[in-house]
A and B are shown apart, each in its own frame.
Chain A
Amino acid sequence: MRALRGFFAFWYDFIVGDDATIAIGVVIALALTALLAHHHTTAWWLLPVAALVLLLSSIARAARAERKPPPR
Chain B
Amino acid sequence: MLQVHPGVAAPGSIADNGGREVDVSTWLLVLSVFLACAVEGVEATTIVLAAGTTRDWRSALTGVGAGIAVLAVIVAILGPAITAIPLSALRLVVGGLLLIFGLQWLRKAILRASGLKALHDEEAIYARQVAAAREVATGGRYAIPDWYAFTLSFKGVVLEGLEVVFIVITFGANQHGIGWAVVGAVAAIVVVVAAGVAVRGPLARVPENTLKFAVGVMLTSFGMFWGAEGAGAHWPGSDAAILALIATTLVVSLATVGALRLSAPRTESSDSPTAMKVS
Q: Are the CB atoms of A48 and B224 closer together than 8 Å? A: yes
Task: Closest A residue to B228 by CB, please name it.
Answer: A47
Q: Which of A27, A43, A44, A54 contacts B96 (CB 8 A)?
A: A27
Task: Closest B residue to A56 by CB, please name it.
Answer: B256
Contacts of B110 in A (CB 8 A): 55, 59
Q: Which residues, 43 to 72 on A, are CB-close (under 8 Å) to B? A: 43-44, 46-48, 51-52, 54-56, 58-59, 62-63, 66-67
Q: Does B264 contact A (CB under 8 A)?
A: yes
Smallest Cβ distance from B69 to chain A, in angstroms?
Answer: 20
Q: Are the CB atoms of B227 and A63 closer together than 8 Å? A: no
Q: Does B232 contact A (CB under 8 A)?
A: yes
Smallest Cβ distance from B14 to chain A, in angstroms?
Answer: 30
**Segment of B97-105, B184-192, B194-202 in the binding face:** B97-105
Contacts of A38 in B (CB 8 A): 232
Task: Closest B residue to A42 by CB, please name it.
Answer: B233
A18–B109 Cα distance when bound, in Å, is: 13
Residue-wise interface mask of B (103-125) relative to A, using a CB-CB cutoff of 8 A (1 in contact, 0 not):
11011101100101100000000
Task: Closest A residue to B116 by CB, please name it.
Answer: A66
Smallest Cβ distance from A52 to chain B, in angstroms?
Answer: 6
Smallest Cβ distance from A50 to chain B, in angstroms?
Answer: 9
Main secondary structure, interface of B, reads helix
Q: Are the CB atoms of A14 and B96 closer together than 8 Å? A: no
Q: Are the CB atoms of B233 and A59 closer together than 8 Å? A: no
Q: Are the CB atoms of A43 and B107 closer together than 8 Å? A: no
Q: Are the CB atoms of B245 and A43 closer together than 8 Å? A: no
Q: Are the CB atoms of A58 and B99 closer together than 8 Å? A: no
Q: Are the CB atoms of A14 and B162 closer together than 8 Å? A: yes
Q: Are the CB atoms of A33 and B100 closer together than 8 Å? A: no
Contacts of B111 in A (CB 8 A): 59, 62-63, 66
Question: Residues on B close to A: CB < 8 A?
Answer: 92, 95-97, 99-101, 103-104, 106-108, 110-111, 114, 116-117, 162-163, 220, 223-224, 227-228, 230-236, 241, 245, 248-249, 252-253, 256, 260, 264
Question: Residues on A close to B: CB < 8 A?
Answer: 14-19, 22-23, 26-27, 30-31, 33-34, 36-38, 42-44, 46-48, 51-52, 54-56, 58-59, 62-63, 66-67
- CB-defined A-B contacts under 8 Å, sample of 6: A17-B101, A37-B233, A43-B232, A44-B233, A48-B224, A51-B103
